[in-house]
Amino acid sequence: MKNENLESVARKLVAAGRGILAADESSPTIEKRLKSIGVASTEENRRTYREILFTTTGLGEFISGVILFDETIRQETRDGRAFVEVLEQQAIIPGIKVDKGTKPMANFPGEKITEGLDGLRERLAEYRQLGARFAKWRAVISISDKIPTHRCIETNAELLARYAALSQEADLVPVVEPEVLMDGTHTIERHFEVTEQVAEIVFHALSEHRVTLEAMLLKPNMVLSGKDCPHQAQVQEVAEMTLRCMNRVVPAAVPGLVFLSGGQSDLQVTEHLNAMNRLDHAPWELSFSFGRALQAPVLKAWKGDPTNVADAQRALHHRAWCNSKARFGKYTTEMEIKKAAA
């Protein structure tokens, strides 16, 4: 893989029936996840948990890439194999989260910008040496009556574009993630409007920074009703609105969209992905890059108990399989019933 060009790597990440596992939780986020099952967030417990994920037999059939955290890309299995090597043995491409998280935007109440450009060129070079083949940077856009402002969107778009250009310079495929949050009371129409505006400004910035579209991936949110909106859009409406929005603003040159789960339930997000692929009105691959939506059942099954590792890995394998089916529009809820009965 070392001699492959970026376009080839990007296409492999969105290969038919496969998607990305986001295992790039920051220290506070992984602490929250482990705490939910009564496990302390020590380095060894984090390493053990990630080992459960990465050594799941047959995972490579459904997972094309894994986004790692700075700590994780340097870790090894209990028997001394680097996590990067373990993933590559399953034909899974290692990736890396490179942003430093979001901070409040000065003078813009309720809005955030993402930090991490300082020293990024050097960090990207190191991650490439450690075996990463793609990178990820997340921007966060909130919705309310008064936000987002144009300035917040433009600032985050500029940061995403600079990150993407630096990634391609370092021989890494940039995964560009402008997430319009579903938190709030807004309608699906309002979410559509903001998602379209954000994507339009992001692609303008990418063009200005001469980012090669064929050698990047977009990690967008699905277009949804706000979490607290009285009227919740149904599965078909979410699929149709999301594709209509993406078709308006995402260039066909981009190889694929790897949707984030963004607070949706495990089953809900799979149903939405499935419905989009059944519509098939898209010039790009419609794939996934899920974190919690793939991992929640794993944590629930594991509970920090070594005797539950096999159950935890079965849970991950099942969710990855279901989302693989959704990539072909062939997922059914009966697949969940069969799993429950097994």
Mean per-residue pLDDT pooled into runs of 10, the chain (342 residues): 79 98 93 94 95 97 98 96 97 98 97 98 98 98 96 98 98 98 96 98 98 98 96 96 98 98 93 95 95 95 96 97 97 82 49
Q: For residue range 189-224, list pLDDT tens digits in order.
A: 999 999 999 999 999 999 999 999 999 999 999 999
What pLDDT does 339 receive?
62
Cβ neighbour number for residue 37 with a 10 Å cutoff:
15
What pLDDT does 340 receive?
52
Strands 19-22 and 285-290: parallel
What pLDDT does 1 receive?
44
330 is catalytic: no
What pLDDT does 3 receive?
46
2/131 Cα distance (integer angstroms): 9
- Give the CA angle between residues 303, 289, 260 to the nearest 5°: 95
What pLDDT does 338 receive?
67
Q: For residues 253 and 214, is the Cβ–Cβ distance under 8 A?
A: yes
In 3D space, the residue among 139, 237, 234, 146 whose CA is nearest the CA of residue 195 turns out to be: 139
156/122 Cα distance (integer angstroms): 21
Element (H, E) at 289: strand 285-290
Cα–Cα distances in Å, from 194 out to 169, 249, 262, 278? 30, 12, 16, 25
226/222 Cα distance (integer angstroms): 11
Catalytic residue among 25, 219, 285, 325: 219
- Which two structure tokens, joined as six digits, stand for 6? 């970026």
In the block, residue with structure tokens 């402002």: 149
φ, ψ for residue 323 (rounded to 5)? -70, -30
Domains of the chain by start residue, with CATH: 6-341 (3.20.20.70)
Its pTM surpasses 0.85: yes
In 3D space, the residue among 159, 154, 189 whose CA is nearest the CA of residue 177 turns out to be: 159
SS (H, E, C) 66-86: EEECHHHHCCECCCCCEHHHH
What pLDDT does 280 receive?
72
Strand runs labelled E in 15-121 = 19-22, 63-68, 93-97, 102-104, 112-114
